[in-house]
Homo-oligomer: A and B are copies of this chain.
Amino acid sequence: MKDLFELGGKFFNSRLLTGTGKYSTDEIIPQVTSASESQIITVALRRVDFDSPYRSVMDYIPPNIQLLPNTSGARDAKEAIKIAQISRASGHGNFIKIEVISDNKYLLPNGYETLKATEELSKDGFIVLPYVNADLYLGRSLKDAGAAAIMPLGSPIGSNRGIRCMEMIRVLVELIDLPIIVDAGIGKPSDAAVVMEMGVDACLVNTAIASSPNPILMASAFKDAVISGRNAYLAGLGCRSSIAVASSPLTGFLNG
C-alpha cells in the first residue's frame, strides 16, 4: 500500500513542500520544482502582480502543482482574511497558508491572530494551514477551529538554524490528530530528515534551497532527505544504548 500524504482531502506522493521566494531569478523555479518533486508550492500573494505586462511568479509554477498561497505581509487576522479572499477570488483555489507576523526582527507568528483567521476562513470553505509556534493548546484550538494541518516553525524564518523546537514539535506529533508540517528553520537536508524520522508528516523548505549556490541540486537533496526520513520513520529506528554493542559476536577469531 502506498504511503500517501493526505492534505485537505487530496493525496500527494511528495511530503516536501517548496516555496518561490529568494531565488536570484524566478526562471529557475520550474527546474527546482522538478528536482524537488514537490507537489505543493507556497507563494506570497503580494508577489503576484495581477496587472503586470511582465511575467508573474505564477507563470513559473508548473501545472498540476497544488498552489498554497500564503498571507505573508499580514499583521493581523483581518489582513490575513482579506488576502485569502483576494487569493481565492483571483482563481488561486481554496488552500491558504496563514502567516500573521507583526514582529519585524524574528518574524515570529502571532498565534492568537492566526487562530482567529483560521476559524473564520475554515468556516468560509478554505483549506487552512496555519503557521505557528509549536504549542499544544494552540494546536488543539486550531484543530477545533477547522485547520487542515498545523505548520510549526523549526526556528525563525530564513535563519537556516535548524530545528530548535524539537521537543514541542514532538508533542504536537503525538497529541494532535492533524498533519504536522514543519515550516521555517530547516537549513540542511539533514534537518528535514530529523523531523521526518520523528514522525512529522511533511516539511516546507524555501530559503535553504533558494540560497544554495546550486538550488536545483539542493532541491534534489531535500527531496531525498524527506523520503529518507519518512522511510526511517515507517521502518522504525533501533534503540540507542549507552554501551557499545559489537556488530558481530566477540568470540575471538584466532583463538576461538
Contact = CB atoms under 8 A, between A and B. Distances in A.
Contact of A236 (B73, B214, B222, B237): B214
A197 B188 contact: yes
A28 interface: no
A21 interface: yes
A227 to B, nearest CB: 5
Contacts of A47: 248-249
A213 interface: yes
A163 to B, nearest CB: 10
A254 interface: yes
A106 B136 contact: yes
A159 B241 contact: yes
A112 to B, nearest CB: 7
A72 B248 contact: yes
Please indicate which of the listed interface residues A46, A75, A213, A223 has the most CB atoms of chain B within 10 Å of its own CB. Answer: A46
A187 B225 contact: no
A1 interface: no
B193 A213 contact: no
A167 interface: yes
Given A189-B232, A218-B231, A228-B193, A247 B207 contact: yes
The 8 closest A-B pairs by CB, nearest first: A211-B238, A46-B253, A156-B244, A21-B247, A73-B253, A158-B245, A224-B228, A190-B193
